[in-house]
Structure 1
Amino acid sequence: MIRRSNIKYLVLVLLAIYILHWSFTGTNLKVSWSEQPEPLESHKNLKLDTKIEQKEVTVPDNTRQIGKANACFVVLIRNSDLHEFRNTMRQLEDRFNHKYNYPYVFLNDVPFTEEFKKLTSALTKSKTEYDMGILNEKLEEMRKNEVIYGDSPGVHFYCDIDFDPFAYVRDHDIKYAFTISMYEYQNTIPTLWDTVKEFIKQYPQYIEKDNLMDFLSDDNGETYNLCHFWSNFEIGDLNFWRSETYLKFFDFLDKKGGFFYERWGDAPVHSIAAALFLKKHQIHFFNEIGYRHDNFMHCPKDDKLQLKCHCDPNENFDFDGYSCTGR
C-alpha cells in the first residue's frame, strides 16, 4: 500500500487517459544529488519552423535549490501490459532515469503479479512500489465508448534527457509541463465550459490575471476551443492539485455531475485549471523530451536536439492541424 509522503512533483509516463481525480499520497522516499543540472542551451535558442515560442524563465541564483527534486513516476498499468511496458521502462531508464534514480509507483485495480514486480524492478536501481488503482474498468469503458487509443497504454521515449526535468520545473517556478497538446472531442464534454464559466463568475478571485485563457478560447472565454494538454505525459506540482483553488474548482465540477453523466476527462480539466489558475510562465512545453503514444508523437525538430534523438521530425504531431501546441 502506498504510504503518505512529501512527494511534490510527479510525471505520468503511462496514463489510462480517463482517470478523473485521485489523492496521490506517495511513498516515504529520501533522495539526494550532488549537483544541480543546468537547463539545456536549446531553451534559449530553439529553432522551430512554427509559431511556438520557447522562453527561458530567469530565476535569481539564490533561489535555486541544490539536488534532485522530491518527485516520482506514476504508472497506471495492467499485469497484461507487462512486456509492452518493459520496452517503455527500458527507454526511460536508458534516456534519463539511470542518472537520477527517481522512484516508480505502479497503480493497478488488482494485485500485481510476482512476475510483474520482478521484471519491472529488475529494470531500475530506483525504488519501486505497487498499489491497486482503478485502471481496468476505465480502459474497458473507453474501449466500449470507442475513445481513440483509450485502451492502449504503450509509450516511447526517443531522446536523451540529459538534464533533470523535475529539478528544472522546481527551480523555474513551473507548476505544469507537457509535451503534446490537442483538441478534445466535443461530445465528451458538452456542458463542461458552461460549468467553467459559472465557476469564473462565482469565484473571480481564483482566476489568475496573467493567465492562458487565449490557449483555451478564441473569443476571450465565451466559448471553449477544445484545446488541452495531453495528460498521457504531464509533470505536475502536487501542491497545485492540492491547493484551495484547484480543490474548490474540482468540487464545483463534481457537483455538476459531468464526470458521470458526460465523460469529462482529466486532460481538459487539468488543462483548464492550469490555464486559468497559473501564471503563463508556470506552464512549460518540454521540447527536449521526444515522446510518443500510439499515433501522437512529439519529436524535436531542432538540429542539436536531433543528435540526441532517434525519431523522425517530419512525423512531429506539433505541426498537425489537430495539435494545439502552436498556440
Structure 2
Amino acid sequence: MRDLERTWNSKFNYPWTFLNDVPFTEEFKRKTKAATKAEVRYELVPKEHWEVPAWINMDLFQESAQVLKEQDVQYAEKISYHQMCRWNSGMFYKHPALQNYRYYWRVEPHVHFFCDVDYDVFRYMHDNNKTYGFTVNIYDSPQSIATLWPETLKFLASDDHARYLHPNNAMDWLTDSKRREEHNLLANGYSTCHFWSNFEIGDMNFWRSKQYEEFFQHLDRSGGFFYERWGDAPVHSIALGLFEDKSKIHW
C-alpha cells in the first residue's frame, strides 16, 4: 500500500477497498488509514460468496488434496486457498461495495511497486478501450489445472457458447505447445501460460458479462476449484483469451 501510494495513488487519490472474510482489526484500520489521504473502506465478503458450495463432496476434496500434495501442488490441502481462488474467479466483482465501480486495480499482500506512474491508469483504460492490464505472464502448475481446459472445451461445445468466441481471440496463446510441451500435455491442451493476477487492472463489465457468468457457472459446477486447485489467474486468462478482443488486453 505504501508503495502504490508513493508511486501512483498520492497523485490521484482513488479510494481503497479492503475485503476479507473476517472483520479487520482496529490496528489494521488505523495503519491503513494513516497510509493514504484517500477514502478507505473495509468490507466483509458475504458468507454465501465464500462458503464451500453444497455440491462439493468434502471427502473427495480431502482425497484429491492429498493426491495434489503428493504432486507438490502448493496450497492444495488449504481449503481457504480454494475458496479464495473461487471467490477471485467469480465473486469479487459481485460484492455490493463494488457495484458502483467499473474498473479495479487488484493489490495483494507482499506485492511491490517500484516505478513511478504519472498517469491515471483507469482513464487510460477507458479512453483506449482496454479491458485488462497485466505485467507478466507465467506458467501454472499443470497438475493443479489438469481438467480446466477439457471443461472449457465442454463449455464451448454448445452452439450457444461457441458464439461467445471473439473473432480476434488468443486461442494460439492458450493452446501453445512449443514453449513448454510437457505443460501442454499435462494440462490436456492448455499451455498453462496466464496473466499473473496478483497484479491486474480490469474492467469489471467483462466479468459481469453474460458469457463470463455462464463460463464461471459451468466451471464452478464441475468442482475443479476444490477437486483440483484452479486459480483465478488461469480462469481469467482463458476467459479473456477466448471471449475478448486480444487488442483490448494491455501489457
Asked if Structure 1 and Structure 2 have the same fold, meaning a TM-score greater than 0.5 normalized by the shorter chain, the answer is yes
* In 2: Cα distance, 1:260 partner to 1:147 partner: 11
- 1:140-163 per-residue CA deviation (whole Å, 9 max, x = no partner) reads x9xx86349x8x931111000011
Amino acid at match of 1:211: N
Please state whether the residue corresponding to 2:23 is helix, strand or coil. coil
Please state whether the residue corresponding to 1:269 is helix, strand or coil. helix
* In 2: Cα distance, 1:223 partner to 1:269 partner: 15
Q: Which residue of 2 aligns with 1:201?
A: 157
Q: CA deviation at 1:109?
A: 2.3
Equivalent of residue 258 in structure 1, options 224, 228, 235: 224
Q: Which residue of 2 aligns with 1:181?
A: 137
How large is the RMSD of aligned CA atoms in angstroms?
2.7
Find out whether 1:118 has 2:30 as its counterpart. yes
- 1:234-254 per-residue CA deviation (whole Å, 9 max, x = no partner) reads 011111100001001111111
Equivalent of residue 12 in structure 2, options 78, 100, 120: 100
Please state whether the residue corresponding to 2:157 is helix, strand or coil. helix
Q: Which residue of 1 aligns with 2:197?
A: 231
* In 2: Cα distance, 1:169 partner to 1:179 partner: 15
Equivalent of residue 147 in structure 2, options 182, 191, 201: 191
Q: CA deviation at 1:132?
A: 2.4
- 1:20-66 per-residue CA deviation (whole Å, 9 max, x = no partner) reads xxxxxxxxxxxxxxxxxxxxxxxxxxxxxxxxxxxxxxxxxxxxxxx
Q: Which residue of 2 aligns with 1:210?
A: 168
Please state whether the residue corresponding to 1:206 is helix, strand or coil. coil
* In 1: Cα distance, 2:36 partner to 2:175 partner: 42
* In 1: Cα distance, 2:204 partner to 2:152 partner: 22
**TM-score calculated relative to the size of structure 2:** 0.70
Equivalent of residue 159 in structure 1, options 112, 115, 119: 115
* In 2: Cα distance, 1:198 partner to 1:233 partner: 29
Find out whether 1:146 has 2:69 as its counterpart. no
Q: Which residue of 2 aligns with 1:90?
A: 2
Q: Which residue of 2 aligns with 1:55?
A: none
Q: Which residue of 1 aligns with 2:86?
A: none
**TM-score calculated relative to the size of structure 1:** 0.54
Q: Which residue of 1 aligns with 2:104?
A: none
Find out whether 1:277 has 2:243 as its counterpart. yes
Q: Which residue of 1 aligns with 2:102?
A: none
Q: Structure 1's 131 and 265: CA in aligned 2 closer, same or farther, altered over 3 A?
A: same
* In 1: Cα distance, 2:152 partner to 2:74 partner: 26
- 1:94-148 per-residue CA deviation (whole Å, 9 max, x = no partner) reads 11001100101111222111111111111111110012248x999xx9xx86349
* In 1: Cα distance, 2:152 partner to 2:228 partner: 15
Amino acid at match of 2:30: K
**Percent identical across equivalent pairs?**
52
Which has the larger helix fraction? 2
Alignment of 1:234-245 (within 5 A): 234-245=200-211
Count of aligned residue pairs for this structure pair? 190
Amino acid at match of 2:163: Q
* In 2: Cα distance, 1:198 partner to 1:174 partner: 28
